[in-house]
Structure 1
């Protein structure tokens, strides 16, 4: 099993709406009225008659990063930030979604009947039924790689510095293989499943006997960290290496790259059990990023900057080259076709190609731009969303329709922020300056100069206060600069000694809260330019776990009395008037976003698991837990009347909620090509001219079709308007 590579993970999604099944393209003979809650529309709206059985509508976006093709060649397993997706390779439509971890993926069992989902505790899931078959209770925080035995009865898990052998039928751990000096990155079974083979972060290859657990071989490959300049290894310094194991466990291909001109790049084939180099492949380019075997073990694949190269293992010669900027390559078991992710990481596409000539068989649906910022209009009728491609969309949330406010801005760098009512948008520029742009006209209002001098690091994050008048920028040194957009005064500068994850300014503009790593919190008085309180700042003993004691989100109440501070494990209620923590609630969630309601009595949290929660501010009681997102919720805004809320998640999905009734009203999304869809929970939708093609209908456990046969019954803008009001 070749380990899932660390590529940029593209944000995609599937959302589901359980709806009663309909007869395709059927005339409705006995329509009935639906109950409407809309006060704005007086005429009744007629829903189509429907039959009892259930099926599902999906909003499909991109398929993500493909990580494996099923043994029968019918399915793709792909990875997003925290989801695994099962994709029909024939039509590119998503079949199922599995919750996973943010770091690692999974793979198919040898017969394709099961999917291993690494997640935080590896799980074996039925490919067809979604049934959880087995959970492997590893005590490790993360599992880096895995491998199935050839008969599909056993499983290897690589976690931290250990490899463990598990029985698939019982879920029991059989044995540990210890002795690695560094984190194990890849693992496989050796020939005839008699050996366990690992590759670790310190470039050491180890082989164990699977019965006795005895280490029988260990080979150190050269890397820069192993030697000083005065002790140059015989083979030269190498700064980066990639390896792959053959599917039978006999061989390893090793590609090493050096940043030093005098040491050549090299690709070598090794006999794992014997511990001997068999062959060196001609590698003239310095741009070999990774290597792998074809499933039949006859060829080695080298992914270069602008092409793929296939070497014949028997002759050592390059026999085929495919041109293209490939970021990822996966061959089918038959070797007849392969999947590629290609193009710039910010705007890539997935293609299925013929292995014979590299011709494209199919290009999968384009991805969507991720959402960076959202804001309600003053009258609450519209929602503005600013996207990663620089565009700004205007959503009429009373009728369920989208128009483009700003088509796009390619000259900005990642930072794009909407002010409180969406009237203006701020773009961060490459020179660290900012542009204030009128959302409705697209005209620049003013340029906001950079807060940095020439020697400073670049700005990587920015925040706006509630009314959009104060811009807070953060550079890579964690320095904060507070800029008054309406004034020409010098920015206020505040230095921090910890990584900042969240910033909030009190509505009265007196206090700046900055929270981040080690549960650190700095509170600044903006009127006095002083640090008035510092909290936390002690590194936990288990900081290896990452951000496990870091502040993830801060929100300040509209009445200026309280700050809600979330870290992984608790929500603290800080009384701004007394300067003390008034209450603290233990939580199991990873909270990504917090916002107060207008009365400062309740708190909305957007969680990493996609659940939106409404909390009683003073008791810590959860009033509602609302489901609609699959991916992590990044931001929540509340309508001016306090009735509705909109959230967006890391996959680009927006959800419209009635927070008073505790219900999901609609899911909506736009795509790179400006097509859009509004989908209600019961399956009615409104869409742009071609937006309906992004809707899927699951008609069986593994069969998903398009919307064409059902469009006449469910493309109902009138019903959508009723449902969301």
Structure 2
């Protein structure tokens, strides 16, 4: 009865009531509700969020079951662009502890919510139009800065409330007033603005200033503090818009600001290795906390405002007694780059984050209790399996991840490389994956088991690219030393070395019939080989900069090349003549690939765009733009309906090409 009501009603409130009743019916009702929420995942993001919230309230003792519920809330504009599926979260921007052991983690791809005692994950606003650069939370209001715009969300309902086009350049810091009526922002356009949320109108507080990196409202809402590259803290009266204090003393950029609860004390952290406490009423320095050999990256007050936690360039967590002005604890975090720190509401734990991992520390014992890994590390290469069900990604930390594309789920991690993974390729049957490493090795992997099969060695430099022959029996590799090598896959034996390029081979590919092998190089040439005889057949010249990527058309009649000169050249394989020159990118082109039907050519560039070209006309038919987060690799799914893109910030996005405008 209830399930039928949930299926049939189009009214959101009725759906929420029905879902609530199902949750209360026990395990069976829970199972039905989970399936129904999943079926309606794109239609009602509010339903997903509220269903999860109801379950949290009603079934607190069974929080692990929470993982069964999808709760991705995607902005409509991203769905319209076809980018409503994502693998990985990307680098961490910041953290915010919430009541009931909840932790909000902001990454370059959006916001994620965790129950940090057991790492149970809830998605809140996990995907937005642009990479997230800053965020702020106040009560039920979440403000996200994404490139030039502000996105406002209601944490209680998961509803997207509004979008404000705020700055003419990237926003780098944001704060919400205590009454939740105003949002303050500072951007790379050298302005500080205060926005009234009800009207979306702005007060220009500061302009033509050096970059402002930190901004904070006083708890009483009367003051706004700003600081940044000019090494000065400014305190503004919100009501009159007047500058009431200009606090000098730091001699390097200021990156952190926090008010104490009484609004009379302001802490500023700087790269000059000090934290300064300012008396706001008098406008003078009250105390200096020195952090020897440690640039300050972030700071926070304890809930009782008696202590302060500071993190910086030496990657330790330092705890200070404010009243005594003494450091009372130093914790070696073993993290690579601590960029955020916060006390848990109980005051007994410190939560810190680097670019990839959030860690929860017990203060009394000075030990880590928990950690949450968010980022995939910087992604260098991606590749679809022949059946399109699995996507492989290679990262700068040497790891390879296999993904279930349909369910956006990580299948396994392949460890073995000691440096970044430059390239990946599957055999025709999808059973073997080859990886080219910066560690001067090629590794072959059993895809089903994740087992390492063998390692191909003997290189004097990094291996830049790999490609299997269509029958999977031969593997071609490109590097600087000995340029091109052909390997027998079954035995790992070197078959032949093809010399001719005068610089690093950056891309290699077989034609679909396996009769031709093409290679592109930093020497600005593309070479065509007979892989059976190792004979050089033809050299294509014309590029005026290094070649980064080459691609055969599915019928093998065309060969495309692209690279540092921002151009794409399409060659007639049989004659060697230039068939078409494609111009449109404004920076180096990283990767090109033909669609499975051969009608489109996709290209990804450092200009933060992916272009789709009509192969016959040479015209751009579609473009995907990323304002901040640069793409670096692409791959068509075998069915041609989707395209995967990766970024150096650790995010893979799957684009539905039928929905691209």
Q: Is the alpha carbon distance of 1:211 and 1:655 closer, same or farther for their aligned partners in structure 2, counting shifts above 3 Å?
A: closer
Higher percent of residues as helix? 2
1:107 aligns with 2:129: no
Distance, in Å, in 2 between the alignment partners of 1:375 and 1:398 is: 15
1:141 aligns with 2:169: yes
**Counterpart contact for 1:254–1:269, Cα < 8 Å:** yes
2:464 aligned partner: 462
Distance, in Å, in 1 between the alignment partners of 2:247 and 2:408 is: 62
Q: Is the alpha carbon distance of 1:54 and 1:284 closer, same or farther for their aligned partners in structure 2, counting shifts above 3 Å?
A: closer
SS at match of 1:84: strand
**Counterpart contact for 2:274–2:296, Cα < 8 Å:** no
2:4 aligned partner: none
Q: Is the alpha carbon distance of 1:469 and 1:416 closer, same or farther for their aligned partners in structure 2, counting shifts above 3 Å?
A: same
Q: Is the alpha carbon distance of 1:243 and 1:251 closer, same or farther for their aligned partners in structure 2, counting shifts above 3 Å?
A: farther
1:332 aligned partner: 344
1:545 aligned partner: none
Residues 252-401 of structure 1 correspond to what in structure 2 (within 5 A)? 252-255=266-269, 265-271=273-279, 274-281=282-289, 283=291, 286=294, 290-303=298-311, 305=314, 307-322=316-331, 324-325=333-334, 327=338, 328-333=340-345, 335-341=347-353, 348=357, 350-354=358-362, 357=365, 363-364=371-372, 373=381, 385=392, 387-388=394-395
Residues 55-134 of structure 1 correspond to what in structure 2 (within 5 A)? 57-58=69-70, 65=92, 67-69=94-96, 72-73=99-100, 75-89=102-116, 92-96=120-124, 97-99=126-128, 101-102=130-131, 104-109=133-138, 111-134=139-162
1:693 aligned partner: none
Unmatched runs of 5 consecutive residues or more in structure 2: 1-17, 42-47, 49-68, 73-86, 487-495, 528-535
1:524 aligned partner: 525
Q: Of the candidates 158, 164, 181, which is equivalent to residue 193 of structure 2?
A: 164
Distance, in Å, in 2 between the alignment partners of 1:395 and 1:156 is: 39
Residues 470-549 of structure 1 correspond to what in structure 2 (within 5 A)? 471-472=477-478, 483-486=483-486, 487-488=496-497, 492-494=501-503, 512=520, 524-526=525-527, 532-534=542-544
TM-aligned CA deviation for residue 173 of structure 1: 1.0
**Counterpart contact for 1:330–1:339, Cα < 8 Å:** yes
Distance, in Å, in 2 between the alignment partners of 1:266 and 1:616 is: 57
1:673 aligned partner: none
TM-aligned CA deviation for residue 219 of structure 1: 4.7
Unmatched runs of 5 consecutive residues or more in structure 1: 1-19, 28-47, 224-237, 259-264, 452-458, 474-479, 497-501, 515-521, 538-550, 664-725
Distance, in Å, in 2 between the alignment partners of 1:153 and 1:319 is: 38
Of stretches 598-607 and 484-493 in structure 1, the one that deviates more from structure 2 is 598-607
Distance, in Å, in 2 between the alignment partners of 1:395 and 1:293 is: 40
Q: CA RMSD in A?
A: 5.5
1:596 aligns with 2:594: yes
Distance, in Å, in 2 between the alignment partners of 1:257 and 1:201 is: 10
Of stretches 78-87 and 278-287 in structure 1, the one that deviates more from structure 2 is 278-287
Distance, in Å, in 1 between the alignment partners of 2:37 and 2:401 is: 37
TM-aligned CA deviation for residue 183 of structure 1: 1.2
Distance, in Å, in 2 between the alignment partners of 1:443 and 1:632 is: 31
1:245 aligned partner: 258
**Counterpart contact for 1:419–1:464, Cα < 8 Å:** no
**Counterpart contact for 1:270–1:277, Cα < 8 Å:** yes
Residues 13-32 of structure 1 correspond to what in structure 2 (within 5 A)? 26=28
**Counterpart contact for 1:505–1:512, Cα < 8 Å:** no
Distance, in Å, in 2 between the alignment partners of 1:397 and 1:300 is: 44
Q: Is the alpha carbon distance of 1:623 and 1:122 closer, same or farther for their aligned partners in structure 2, counting shifts above 3 Å?
A: closer
**Counterpart contact for 1:377–1:383, Cα < 8 Å:** yes
Of stretches 592-601 and 132-141 in structure 1, the one that deviates more from structure 2 is 592-601
**Counterpart contact for 1:563–1:574, Cα < 8 Å:** yes
**Counterpart contact for 2:112–2:121, Cα < 8 Å:** no
Residues paired across the two proteins, number: 539
TM-aligned CA deviation for residue 185 of structure 1: 0.9
Of stretches 98-107 and 462-471 in structure 1, the one that deviates more from structure 2 is 462-471
Distance, in Å, in 2 between the alignment partners of 1:135 and 1:124 is: 6
Residues 610-649 of structure 1 correspond to what in structure 2 (within 5 A)? 617-618=615-616, 634-639=633-638, 647=644
Instruction: Please report the TM-score for the alignment, with normalisation by the length of structure 1.
Output: 0.58
**Counterpart contact for 1:146–1:155, Cα < 8 Å:** yes
Q: Deviations over 1:109-167 (max 9, x none)?
A: 2x224444444311112223333323222232211111222222222110121101111
Of stretches 395-404 and 162-171 in structure 1, the one that deviates more from structure 2 is 395-404
Highest relative contact order (Cα 8 Å, sep 6+), 1 or 2?
1
Distance, in Å, in 1 between the alignment partners of 2:346 and 2:199 is: 32
Q: Is the alpha carbon distance of 1:411 and 1:447 closer, same or farther for their aligned partners in structure 2, counting shifts above 3 Å?
A: same
1:576 aligned partner: 571
1:174 aligned partner: 203
SS at match of 1:144: strand
1:557 aligns with 2:553: yes
Q: Is the alpha carbon distance of 1:653 and 1:154 closer, same or farther for their aligned partners in structure 2, counting shifts above 3 Å?
A: closer
Instruction: Please report the TM-score for the alignment, with normalisation by the length of structure 2.
Output: 0.63
SS at match of 2:323: coil
Distance, in Å, in 1 between the alignment partners of 2:644 and 2:508 is: 18
Distance, in Å, in 1 between the alignment partners of 2:208 and 2:247 is: 13
Distance, in Å, in 2 between the alignment partners of 1:591 and 1:247 is: 49
Q: Of the candidates 155, 178, 183, which is equivalent to residue 155 of structure 1?
A: 183
SS at match of 2:152: strand
